[in-house]
């Protein structure tokens, strides 16, 4: 089993799950990120664009399957395919950001009915997350090559470098009594990182072996305000949400304002076809919050003057 990437967050959880399931993964990456506590597996180091020149090193591992966690764009997918042996089983990670609804959410326009399914309209605008990232491109390369594409919701859990809980946790850490919150109705399907890893195992075990897409998202989604409340409860903290106008929200709490387009997706196809299920959401939330409480960012933001100014308007 080869994992392309595998040492930051989602890939790291996949490697751990593969090991626990008895597989022997090889992780392929540049070698910049080898954090303490990483599972003890073989590494092949190299910049992605150099991989095609190292076909023999890939072939020597005699992998029956490859999980591409870090392609990022079309060039990344092309480099991987040029390096890998033919006929190897392919699984590639993508995101629900491929749907037109994502573009609508960013532009504050209502474009699509939810929940989004795998046949919902795709984005018409490219590179909305910057010039380097485009999941639509990697899907266009990988699908004809027979890959199973897993479109992830917003991933949370241990080692999350995007730190999706931080807007709430930094206020808990700072001993705040009140957190200013907007309309709080945004629905953005999430998924626990350990459940993504289980989805990869389910895809590997499946008889379904042709190019196809699957949303990998939680069964039920808390709107943003309730999500904040769940984080507070999981941290056993005392932090009161105070409704303020969306227009005055501090920058890191803007996701609690009203949105034009929800990003609620259905993971029913993955449940029906792959037999995948997400784990107990309360346990996943508690485990993740506890990890982030124990591993705060080194440079966490301790200035709450924006909150104080906003709370005076409440």
Ligand X SMILES: NC(=O)c1ccc[n+]([C@@H]2O[C@H](COP(=O)([O-])OP(=O)(O)OC[C@H]3O[C@@H](n4cnc5c(N)ncnc54)[C@H](OP(=O)(O)O)[C@@H]3O)[C@@H](O)[C@H]2O)c1
> Shortest gap between Cβ of 67 and ligand X (angstroms)?
9
Q: Which is nearer to ligand X, 11 or 194 (CB)?
A: 11
CA torsion, ordered 223, 226, 227, 228, to nearest 10 deg: 130
> Shortest gap between Cβ of 159 and ligand X (angstroms)?
8
Which listed range, 9-17, 141-149, 266-274, 289-297, lies at the site for ligand X (CB under 6 A)? 9-17
Q: Is residue 209 a contact residue for ligand X (CB under 6 A)?
A: no
Question: How many other C-beta atoms lie within 10 A of the C-beta of residue 115?
Answer: 19
Q: Which residue among 2, 16, 95, 239 contacts ligand X (CB under 6 A)?
A: 95
Q: Quick one: 264 exposed, middle or buried, by C-beta within 10 A (0-12, 13-18, 19+)?
A: buried
113: region left, alpha or beta (phi > 0 left; psi from -120 to 50 alpha) = beta
Which listed range, 7-15, 167-175, 222-230, 235-243, lies at the site for ligand X (CB under 6 A)? 7-15
Q: Which is nearer to ligand X, 138 or 234 (CB)?
A: 138
DSSP for 40-51 reads: --EEEE--GGGG
> Shortest gap between Cβ of 121 and ligand X (angstroms)?
19
> Shortest gap between Cβ of 293 and ligand X (angstroms)?
19
- The answer to whether 214 and 270 are in contact (CB under 8 A) is yes
Q: Is residue 198 a contact residue for ligand X (CB under 6 A)?
A: no
Number of residues forming the site for ligand X (CB under 6 A): 25
> Shortest gap between Cβ of 199 and ligand X (angstroms)?
12
Q: Is residue 250 a contact residue for ligand X (CB under 6 A)?
A: no
Q: Quick one: 241 exposed, middle or buried, by C-beta within 10 A (0-12, 13-18, 19+)?
A: middle
Q: Is residue 7 a contact residue for ligand X (CB under 6 A)?
A: yes
Give, as ranges, the residues between 21 and 60 that touch ligand X (CB under 6 A). Answer: 29-33, 47-48
Q: Which residue among 17, 105, 148, 155 contacts ligand X (CB under 6 A)?
A: 155
C-alpha triplet 250, 225, 249: angle, nearest 5°: 15
Q: 200-234 b/e with 16+ CB inside 10 Å = b? A: bbbbbebeeeeebbbbbbbeebbbbbebbbbbbeb
Q: Which is nearer to ligand X, 162 or 277 (CB)?
A: 162
Give, as ranges, the residues between 159 and 188 that touch ligand X (CB under 6 A). Answer: 162
Q: Is residue 312 a contact residue for ligand X (CB under 6 A)?
A: no
Ranges of H-type helices in the chain: 10-20, 55-60, 74-83, 100-107, 135-142, 166-173, 193-205, 224-234, 268-269, 281-294, 305-311
Q: State CA 33 to chain mean position distance.
A: 18
> Shortest gap between Cβ of 299 and ligand X (angstroms)?
20
Q: How far is 238 from 235, CA to CA, in rounded Å?
A: 9
Which listed range, 87-95, 115-123, 171-179, 297-305, lies at the site for ligand X (CB under 6 A)? 87-95
Site string for ligand X, 133-152 (x = CB under 6 A): --x----------------x
Residues of the shown chain interacting with ligand X in the complex, contacts defined by CB under 6 A? 5-12, 29-33, 47-48, 69-70, 93-95, 135, 152, 154-155, 162
């Amino acid at each position: 089993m080869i994992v392309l990437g595998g040492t930051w967050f989602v890939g790291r959880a996949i490697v751990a799950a593969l090991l626990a399931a008895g597989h022997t993964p090889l992780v392929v990456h540049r070698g910049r990120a080898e954090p303490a506590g990483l599972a003890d597996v073989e590494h092949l180091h190299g910049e992605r664009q150099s991989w095609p020149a190292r076909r023999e090193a890939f072939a020597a591992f005699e992998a029956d399957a490859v999980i591409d966690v870090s392609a990022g764009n079309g060039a990344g997918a092309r480099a991987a395919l040029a390096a890998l042996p033919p006929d190897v089983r392919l699984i590639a990670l993508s995101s629900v950001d491929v749907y037109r609804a994502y573009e609508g959410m960013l532009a504050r326009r209502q474009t699509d009915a939810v929940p989004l399914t795998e046949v919902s309209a795709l984005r018409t605008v490219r590179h909305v997350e910057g010039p380097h990232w485009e999941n639509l491109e990697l899907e266009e390369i990988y699908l004809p090559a027979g890959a199973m594409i897993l479109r992830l919701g917003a991933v949370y859990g241990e080692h999350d470098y995007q730190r999706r809980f931080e807007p709430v946790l930094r206020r808990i850490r700072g001993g705040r009594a009140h957190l200013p919150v907007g309309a709080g109705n945004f629905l953005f399907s999430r998924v626990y990182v350990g459940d993504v890893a289980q989805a990869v195992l389910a895809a590997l075990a499946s008889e379904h072996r042709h190019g196809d897409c699957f949303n990998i998202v939680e069964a039920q989604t808390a709107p943003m305000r309730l999500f904040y409340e769940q984080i507070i409860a999981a941290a056993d903290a005392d932090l009161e949400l105070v409704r303020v106008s969306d227009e005055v929200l501090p920058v890191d709490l803007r996701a609690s304002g009203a949105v034009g387009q929800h990003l609620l997706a259905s993971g029913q196809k993955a449940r029906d076809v792959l037999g995948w299920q997400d784990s107990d959401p309360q346990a996943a939330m508690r485990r993740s919050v506890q990890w982030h409480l124990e591993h705060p960012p080194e440079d966490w933001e301790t200035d709450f003057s924006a909150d104080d100014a906003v709370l005076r308007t409440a």
